[in-house]
């Protein structure tokens, strides 16, 4: 028969859930992994040991920021995220999440255009290259413009797109992007070249 939980052991669980890893609880209570999970489930329900925290995935889906942006914020704010096990999900406390969101609201991937990710693919992994595009999209657009004998700068492409009287919807969308200073998509470049 299993040994009954003492009030002191339960207090350790109540005080530390969401802040410490499973190893901490095993060390402090001398209980097995299964016993700890069972007891926390009985006390807290489905939340268990991660109660009061967010996983990296849930933080990204709840706020709209990408995981890469959270990694950048974590590094900038020098935060330490906990894990329940060596390969388990990261546990981000409410205070940590709030400070990262506050920081990310003013940290732009492309500060000149005030973008949080590539204007084309949304990636925020590598620094902005130009026109609000990541290096991959930037060079793809540049090569395509050179191949189709089109100007590669936003201002010259905008002049060219505005010179068309009855432009299709794709070219009108291109004008809007270029007016913001954003680079064109490859589809918009192909449409512009076919209209000319």
125 pLDDT above the threshold of 60 = yes
Q: How far apart are CA 120 and CA 165, in angstroms?
A: 26
Most confident of 15-19, 103-107, 179-183: 179-183
pTM over 0.85: no
Residue 154 CB neighbours (<10 A)? 19
Given pLDDT bands bounded at 50, 70 and 90, which one contains residue 51? low
Torsion-angle region of residue 30: left (phi > 0), alpha (psi -120 to 50) or beta? Answer: left
Residue 49 pLDDT greater than 80, yes or no: no
* Averaged pLDDT of the chain: 79
């Amino acid at each position: 028969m299993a040994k009954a939980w003492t009030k002191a052991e339960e207090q350790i669980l109540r005080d530390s859930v969401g802040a410490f890893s499973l190893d901490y609880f095993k060390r402090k209570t001398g209980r097995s992994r299964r016993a700890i999970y069972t007891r926390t489930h009985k006390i807290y329900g489905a939340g268990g040991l991660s109660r009061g925290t967010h996983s990296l995935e849930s933080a990204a889906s709840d706020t709209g920021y990408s995981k890469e942006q959270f990694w950048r914020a974590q590094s900038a704010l020098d935060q330490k995220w906990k894990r329940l096990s060596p390969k388990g999900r990261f546990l981000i406390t409410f205070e940590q999440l709030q400070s990262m969101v506050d920081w990310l609201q003013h940290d732009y991937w492309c500060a000149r255009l005030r973008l949080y990710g590539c204007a084309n693919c949304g990636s925020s992994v590598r620094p902005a290259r130009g026109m609000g595009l990541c290096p991959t999209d930037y060079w793809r657009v540049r090569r395509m413009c050179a191949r189709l004998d089109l100007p590669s700068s936003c201002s010259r492409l905008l002049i060219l797109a505005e010179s068309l009287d009855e432009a299709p919807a794709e070219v009108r969308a291109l004008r809007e992007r270029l007016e913001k200073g954003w680079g064109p998509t490859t589809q918009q470049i192909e449409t512009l070249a076919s209209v000319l």
